[in-house]
Amino acid sequence: MATVHKLRLAIKFGKNLSRPLSRSFERKILEKQCQRLLAINTNILAQNFSSQTATQTTELHNIIKDVEKSTEEGVKHEFRSETQMLLQIVAKSLYSNKEVFLRELISNASDALEKLRYIRLSDSKAAEVIGDRSLEIHIGTDKQNRTLVIQDTGIGMTREELISNLGTIARSGSRAFIEKLKEKQNIGDSSNIIGQFGVGFYSAFMVADKVEVFTKSFAKDAEDLYWVSDGSNTFNISKAEEVQPGTKIVIHLNMECRQFSDEDTINRLITKYSNFINSPIYVNGKRINTVQPLWMLDPKDITPLQHKEFYRFIGNFFDSPRFILQYSTDVPLNIRAILYFPEQKPPLFDFSKNETSGISLYSRKVLIKNKVENILPNWMRFIVGVVDSEDIPLNLSRELLQNSTLIGKLRNVLTTRILKFLNEKSQKQIEDYNKFYKDYNIFLKEGIVSTDVQEEKEAIANLLRFESSATASGESISLEDYSKRMPSDQKKIYYLLAPSRQLAEQSPYYESLKKRNVEVLFCYEAYDDVIFLNLKKFKTYPLVSVEENLCESDSKSDSPHIINQGEINNLMSYMRKVLSGKAHDIKITTRLESHPCIVTVQEMATARHFARMQTRQFGDEMLYSLLRPCFEINPNHSLIKKLCELINSNTKLADLLIKQLFTNSMVEAGLIDNPRVLLASMNELLTLALEKK
């Protein structure tokens, strides 16, 4: 299927040229591609892609032959002065990790093959000269002689190109090649050609005492050439013989880097950096890169089994992806991405990990870096996948990722697309999304707290789900659902923090809104109030906890008081003396019915978490001074009416009851985290009650 797809692309590419291919040449392409199709091992064609790894055969295929040699002393050339200086930088300190030299040289070889592929499709005369040779990269290792050979069957180089491309470190042959194409015509796919021999080639001197290059251009009657340098100030070019078309690089490794002559080491590095190169890569005759870059394929051509195998390959997982987002765009950046949402529930301790993302960054199928920092917000660290962008330059930034602006743009585009994707899932696959939300909601809530962009906060917030006073137990809604059914005169979104629905419905803070049939969101996680505190608003509606000291219009009641104003004033004065040092203020509330009293503070969520964290550091007196709780009493409650009588008849019992009611309210509000503080006053109250009997 992949080969047929490539064939269709090749024909389409040829037809898009400003000078259309002739019918005879197009037929030749078809015939040659069909011959290659027929030559493919039937076992590979028959397999149903149960594995991303191609069928392994015992037959070796190796084009590397140690027959090339120089036939003359040659001509010595000096590197340009700036090249000499830059060569030392490249060789000594440009790359922090020396193993990336192999990535650079394989990338260069791949570019040479892409150039030849284009010429063969676009120039019939050149195609006859080139013939039907396979486009391949071969690598040979020799531990005994401490050498590494990298050979391609690509475009090769002439003498002038050797001097130009390998004599000037800052020159990019491919950049000049693309500019030349643009002068003649607009080639839509020419951007696939990256620098053939620029800075990357010189990374070989990080590991080498000497580098040799044998090359032969694809052109008719091209001469065999030999280039050699020890990385000092000069290089030598001479004629050679027995050179195959393409380029062969022989690296004589220094003692410190002799491990790169080991076959297993090279296989590991190819799998790490260059596994998705278009052309086949052979090491000592064995094919290495057998995994398809799924993100470059049409989503319709990818089976669920392929996704499963690829997901397990890149993430080292054993489960299957829950959701799959395959995304491609050319505006504002060129991006080809495939992102997986794990099916498995994250381990308990993963919530607190501050890890980088599970995203690998590629440019034209060449690995830039695994687990790229900042390419996704940290709260999306559970997502694994690949992001490929042609806009990532394959130069110094590939190693150092210095272009933070570009990474920032990638982050913004991907974050927006992922949030849109999750929102679509929440609307179209409700059951599947609810399962995802149950497992990963803590990451979404982390996202609201960690981002400073209000628009992003609200986009994440719309993915949250809460039970509501207007829905049945077990049913949840979004903030969007809530806002759509708000009455026209309601200007706020109300929520209540409680351990369970039963306790939420019994909460004294909910009574007033329940009576007026105002919908309230029920939040069952201890940190939900912090989430709303950070979110502040959704659309234009402020998010208000019903535990806050509601304004008069939110808590108004027309019910008459069963206690006259004089008795109420006396009781409040008495309470102020008893609760001196604890209650900052005492006042009447009209929003309670079945409860005698409540405690309110400014910014209840902040106060609650402060109380939990700082209880051990502050004494009671300091804690009450910082919290400044307001004790609100219900003048229509029978217990408050009884207190009006007790302050005149039994002050000891009245004092105990007032302290008990205040402590109960502090516990109810979550401002006292340890309910054992109730025991002492409760026992004293019970003792006094028994004595009266």
The pLDDT tens digits for 459-485 are: 999 999 999 999 999 999 999 999 999
Give the range among 65-69, 355-359, 563-567 with minimum mean pLDDT.
355-359
- Judge contact between 353 and 384, C-beta under 8 A: no
> Is 195 annotated to bind ligand?
no
Q: Is residue 453 included in any domain, yes or no? A: no
- 157 annotated as belonging to a binding site for a ligand: yes
- Annotated binding-site residue? 173: yes
Residue 256, domain member (yes or no): yes
Asked if 113 and 236 sit in the same domain, the reply is: yes
3-state secondary structure 138-165: EEEEECCCCEEEEEECCCCCCHHHHHHH
Average pLDDT of the chain to the nearest whole number: 81
Residue 199 structure tokens: 């800075």
DSSP secondary structure, 408-457, as one string:
HHHHHHHHHHHHHHHHHHHHHSHHHHHHHHHHHHHHHHHHHHH---HHHH
Has residue 1 been placed in a domain? no
Kindly state whether residues 132 and 230 are assigned to the same domain.
yes
Residues 160 and 278 grouped into a single domain: yes
Please, how many CA atoms are within 13 Å of residue 664, restricted to the half-sphere of its CB? 16
- Quick check: is 31 in a domain? no
Q: What pLDDT does 251 receive? A: 97
Is 42 annotated in a binding site? The answer is: no
Looking at the fold, whether 144 and 255 belong to one and the same domain comes out as: yes
Query: 3 in a domain, yes or no?
Result: no
Task: Tell me whether residue 201 is annotated as binding.
Answer: yes
pLDDT of res. 183: 52
Given 530, 554, 578, which residue is the final one in a domain? 554
Let me know if residue 381 belongs to a domain: yes
Same domain, 253 and 315: no
Domain finish residue from 495, 527, 554: 554
196 is in an annotated binding site: yes
Is 108 assigned a ligand-binding role in the annotation? yes
> Is the pLDDT at 526 greater than 50, yes or no?
yes
Q: What is the pLDDT of residue 462?
A: 97
- Residue 167 labelled as part of a binding site: no
Residue 404 falls within a domain, yes or no?
yes
What residue has token string 């021999």?
A: 197
Residues 655 and 572 in one domain: yes
In a domain, 347, yes or no: yes
CATH of the domain at 584: 1.20.120.790
User: Is pLDDT of 55 > 50?
Assistant: no
671 shares its domain with 607:
yes
pLDDT at 406: 83
Lowest mean pLDDT across 356-370, 534-548, 556-570, 652-666? 556-570
Tell me if 152 is assigned to a ligand binding site.
Answer: yes
Position with higher pLDDT, 17 vs 566: 566
CATH number at residue 475: 3.40.50.11260
pLDDT at position 355, please?
Answer: 61
Q: Which residue has the tokens 């794990």?
A: 342
Instruction: Tell me: is residue 398 an annotated ligand-binding position.
Output: yes
Query: Do 226 and 153 belong together in one domain?
Result: yes
Is the distance from CB of 533 to CB of 605 less than 8 angstroms? yes
Q: Please determine, for residue 8, whether its predicted confidence score (pLDDT) is greater than 70.
A: no
**Are residues 267 and 299 both part of a single domain?**
no
What is the C-alpha to C-alpha distance for residues 537 and 323, in angstroms, rounded to an integer?
29
CATH of the domain at 303: 3.30.230.80
Is the pLDDT reported for residue 376 higher than 70?
yes
Q: Is 206 annotated as a binding residue?
A: no
Is 104 known to sit in a ligand binding site? Answer: yes
Q: Are residues 579 and 656 both part of a single domain?
A: yes
Query: 241: which 2 tokens?
Result: 């013989």
Least confident stretch, 239-243, 431-435, 457-461, 619-623: 619-623
Peptide bond into 332 cis (omega under 30): yes
Report the CATH number that the domain containing residue 151 is assigned in CATH. Answer: 3.30.565.10
**Residue 74 region, left (φ>0) first, then alpha (ψ -120 to 50), else beta?**
left
Residue 613 counted as an annotated binding residue: no
- Give residue 348's pLDDT: 58
- Which of the listed residues 287, 307, 339 is the one where a domain comes to its end? 287
The closest of 552, 576, 191, 547 to 394, measured between CA atoms, is: 191
Domain match, 229 and 88 both: yes
Are 281 and 301 part of one and the same domain? Answer: no
Domain of residue 88 covers 83-287
- The total number of structural domains in the chain stands at 4
In which order are the strands placed within the sheet that holds 335-342?
Answer: 321-329, 335-342, 384-388, 358-363, 366-369
- 229 pLDDT band (50/70/90 cuts)? very high
Mean predicted confidence (pLDDT) in 25-51? 39
